[in-house]
Structure formats: structure tokens, C-alpha cells
Amino acid sequence: MTAAHDIQIEDIEYRNAPSGALLARLYRPAGDGPFPAVISVHGGRWVSQSRLTNEVIDKSLAQAGIVVMALDFRMPPDARYPEPVADINFAIRWLKHFSARYNSTPALVGSVGTSSGGHQTMLNALKPRDPRYSSIALPGSNATAELAYAVACWPVLDPLTRYRMVKQKNMEVHIKSHDAYWPDEASMGEGNPQAILDRNEPVLMPPLLLIQGTGDNIVPAEMTARFADTYRAKGGDVTLEKFDGQPHTFITNAPESAASVEATQKIEQFILRQAARISR
């Protein structure tokens, strides 16, 4: 069991976007480090929620000795794909550039994303230098958005297939969210982690942990399993942790359940293990 760290929490502005200041909540473990550090990217069907959405996960990671930068980023109607992905790319570079300030190093920076945040995280994991995503300059920095590792919880890894599923099931809220974020179906096919791998596009493949409940009716478990199989077949290091009967967002909805505690511990252990590997 990892010893619990005292943590410090503060809100900072990491970018002044055309629509206004973008804030992040920083969770900092006490101690000298160097600590692993992660960008935390919330879900919300691409159109809602905030840097506070995954607080229960973020606090737990910080108490385990991991710096967490939980993001706000632009969403519809202020921005749509690929602009929010570019905000996240900028934040990765920002955290790497200022990592020493938070007792970390650029080599130890990874990410944790949930649901639609998992989708946007994985686009940056696979294609960190894509000009659509890396277009926002960070003055005075040569940091790049390559991730040392990634965690994606119940992620939308095939948005085009998911769009067709929610249309077939008349899931009106999700249909409207897809339509608000994506310009069209062609974009859903373009900014699509599963399709990117299927098309054999050049990608980076950092070590990856996937968390998925088998009772999820928002992101089918089969979608996540297919991505894991493809990632592995292409040489990627991926671990898929399935949680029997658990629904979408189960950790944040019921953080004290046995499944949620176990899943959170697996995220912590994965990140600390990756950091130890990198630091050897």
C-alpha cells in the first residue's frame, strides 16, 4: 500500500484563450520528488463538466505521490474539434515546461482521461505533434506533447461507431453532444483513435492502461477491448482492466465501492510503476 502524502491544492491559469482564461486545478503531493505528473482530462460528452469532475480520482493520485493538473479546456459552443484537443496538447507542454516548479520532470509526465476526455487524451498520446493539435505556441518553450504513459477510463475510442450507436438507440443527449463537438461524420472518422490505428497512420504508442466497466451502456466494453487488441497487435504495451457489471463513470459516481477503490489503486500503481521504470 502506498503511503499517503499530504497534498496542496491550487487553481492556476495555464492559458488565455480567445474565449477567456483556461484554468487548471493542481494537486501537489508534499515532498521533494521527483514525482510523476499527469494531465487529468474530464469527460462530459465533449460539451460539459469541468476540472472538478474527476476530483475523487485526482486527489487520490496526489495522495499516492503523483502531481495532477486537472484541466478546463474549451468546449462547444466556444470551440469544437480539433480546438479542445489543441488546448490539451498545450497543457501537456505547459506541464512539461514547468515540471520542476512542481517537483517533477518532463520525462515523468503522462495523462489520465475519462470518457470523452479519454478520447481527447488518446489523440494526443498517438499524435502529439499533429499540427491540428500542436498549433498553439507556448512562448519560450521547446517542450513537446509526447506522453510517457497514458490512462484512459471508459474512453470513447471510436467516436464514429459510438455516434451511429447512439443514433440507433435514440440517445438524444449524446446525439446532440456529438453534433455540437464534431463538424461532421468525416471528422469523427479523422479524429478517431481506433481508425487511426486501423489506417496504419504513424503514431506513438506510450504504455497504456484502460479501465472499463462491462455494464457500460454509454461506451460498450467491446469498443475498448477492440482498441486494446489493436494497440497490442501493433506493438503497444497495453493493459485492459475490466470491472464486472460496472457502469459508465463508476469511479466518480460511487468512489467508495469496492470496484472503484480497486480501479483507482490500479491507476495509481500503473503510474508509479511507469515512473519507476523511466527513472531507472
Query: In this structure, what CATH number is given to the domain that contains residue 106?
Result: 3.40.50.1820
Q: Is residue 2 part of a domain?
A: no
Residue 176 lies in a domain: yes
**Domain-located, residue 210:** yes
Which class for 198: exposed (0-12), middle (13-18), buried (19 or more C-beta within 10 A)? middle
Give the cell for residue 265: 489503486
pLDDT tens digits for 140-182?
Answer: 999 999 999 999 999 999 999 999 999 999 999 999 999 999 9
Q: What is the pLDDT of residues 12-47, one digit of tens each?
A: 999 999 999 999 999 999 998 899 999 999 999 999
Backbone angles phi and psi of 13, in degrees to 5: -95, 120
Sign of CA dihedral 111, 114, 117, 123: positive
Q: What is the pTM of this model?
A: 0.97
| Dihedral pair phi/psi, residue 264, rounded to 5° | -65, -40
- Rounded to whole angstroms, the Cα distance separating 149 from 85 reads 17
The domain in which residue 234 lies consists of 7-279
Say if 190 falls within a structural domain. Answer: yes
* Residue 1 maps to a domain: no
Number of structural domains (the chain) is 1
